[in-house]
Amino acid sequence: MTTMTTTTTTTTTTTTAGHGFWRMAYLGFCALVFAFLIAPILVIVPLSFNAEPYFTFTEGMLRLDADAWSLRWYRQIMEDEEWSRALANSLLIGVSATVLATVLGTLAALGLSNPAMPARRFATGLLISPMVTPVIISAAGMFFFYSNLGLAQTHLGLILAHAALGTPFVVITVTATLAGYDENLSRAAASMGAGPLTVFRRVQLPLIAPGVVSGGIFAFAASFDEVVVVLFMGGIEQRTIPRQMWSGIREEISPAILAVAVFLIVFAVLFLLTVEWLRRRNAR
């Protein structure tokens, strides 16, 4: 018995000693990966305040000279008519597509969550497919099809296209929220005299609202970041922010797009925090 205990203790000590080194290596490796994930996004922020039209830190910036830093690129995008029109287009297309996707997606999720739904797996597969189809294929197909209908180079065409690409996000998030919904609540409401619409409006919707809103945010973010469909189907009149950035990156590279990028990062963080907050609310 005594010998047994001794051996166990020795093994434990050696493994802990081994752990120490490996644990440091493991943590160091993870730190590098986190840096890889986040540093490229952070580096854009200071560079957008560059006083010079360069994409890198000037010596003045490193010495923290006040002159080397400026708001000129922010001023430029604020005053530029093309950027403000792009923002208006992005908002119009994004909001309309989101409303459409959220309403249709929520209804479909209600149906898909019902075990009685016929061909449930197949229907889910079809409805999620816009999310996994390579966007170049969607864009090419939509270009042919929408051109025939006279919807290419119109706002309506882009709204419909973006709504189609955004619906899977709504279906997924709302279905996930509905998985935690207690069907007895609907039954209870119905037993006390509420019609199906009232049950949905007064009982079910308030409870699944966090999922619906999250889905809407996902759909909006997808539209707000979509460039390939706009590239193929949109004309000059339909240029959105990502489309404008695309030309910015390809043609006349200027730090003005870094200033836009900072705005988009701020948007992304706001979306992220809202969705996480809703998720936590829903979990409670």
Residues 57-96 that bind other proteins (CB under 8 A): 57
Among 49, 74, 83, 218, binds other proteins (CB under 8 A): 218
> How many residues does the structure list for the chain?
284
Among 24, 54, 88, 185, binds other proteins (CB under 8 A): 54
The residue (of 92 and 186) whose beta carbon lies closer to other proteins is 186
Among 51, 108, 152, 174, binds other proteins (CB under 8 A): 108
| Shortest distance in whole angstroms from residue 234 CB to other proteins | 13
Q: Angle, nearest 10°, between helix axes 205-224 and 81-112?
A: 140
DSSP assignments along 183-249, one per residue: HHHHHHHHHTT--HHHIIIIIIHHHHHHHHHHHHHHHHHHHHT--HHHHHH--GGG--HHHHHHHHH
| Shortest distance in whole angstroms from residue 5 CB to other proteins | 13
Site string for other proteins, 112-151 (x = CB under 8 A): x-x-xxx--x-xxxxxxxx-xxxxxxx-xxxxxxx-x---
d(CA 96, CA 177): 23
d(CA 110, CA 207): 13
| Binding of other proteins by 172 (CB under 8 A) | yes
Stretch that binds other proteins, among 64-72, 80-88, 201-209, 251-259 (CB under 8 A): 251-259
CB–CB of 245/260 below 8 Å? Answer: yes
| Binding of other proteins by 41 (CB under 8 A) | yes
**# chain residues binding other proteins, by CB under 8 A:** 101
* Residue owning tokens 């051996």: 7
Among 17, 34, 235, 277, binds other proteins (CB under 8 A): 34
